[in-house]
Chain A
Amino acid sequence: GQNIDQPTEMTATEGAIVQINCTYQTSGFNGLFWYQQHAGEAPTFLSYNVLDGLEEKGRFSSFLSRSKGYSYLLLKELQMKDSASYLCAGMDSNYQLIWGAGTKLIIKP
């Protein structure tokens, strides 16, 4: 079956670095997405990876290893506003998204 696994909750300190991991199993693979969702709000797109390696966008980076079925989202110089849930989603061979339950990131001063 198809499945996305990510930790339920993580805690980090303001100014630090945090890595949120995601493992995926999909029928075929057309890329891996990361979305950010603040409490009570809509998810917003952060990144897309389809090739192995690291994609950097400012304070946020996303990594993909297709051979390991693994991705991570790296957040640097954490700010209080980064407190949110981070959703990992894999796209299968039919271009359907399989979503993880999300990782709630708590930032402490």
Chain B
Amino acid sequence: IAGITQAPTSQILAAGRRMTLRCTQDMRHNAMYWYRQDLGLGLRLIHYSNTAGTTGKGEVPDGYSVSRANTDDFPLTLASAVPSQTSVYFCASSDGTGANSPLHFGNGTRLTVT
């Protein structure tokens, strides 16, 4: 079934540890995104990539990094986790970057930093 796969589903991480959240899509979408979702707040964009080989910073990029070596994969790395990074992380993709390009979301990674 075509779609976006995120791993792990959930993780408890000690503060200061490094963690990579994986995201893979098989829809050949050019654009990919990482969002975090926190209670009472709208989805906030962390990083995005409009096409393989390029990345950009979103609204809340500090403490996170991404890479886009190919079309399918868009991993998100927390270099040294802090408790404020406890959140649900969603990876998404879209066929284009213009208007009327709906996002397709993965099922999310629930991360707890202790």
Contact = CB atoms under 8 A, between A and B. Distances in A.
Interface in A32-63: 33, 35, 41-45, 48, 50
Interface stretch (A10-18, A68-76, A92-100): A92-100
How many chain B residues sit at the interface, stated as a range, is 10 to 19
Contacts of B98: 30, 95
B42 A101 contact: yes
29 contacts: A30-B98, A30-B99, A31-B100, A33-B102, A41-B107, A41-B108, A42-B90, A42-B106, A42-B108, A43-B103, A45-B103, A45-B104, A48-B99, A48-B100, A48-B102, A50-B99, A50-B100, A87-B42, A87-B43, A89-B42, A95-B97, A97-B43, A97-B45, A99-B42, A99-B44, A100-B42, A101-B41, A101-B42, A102-B42
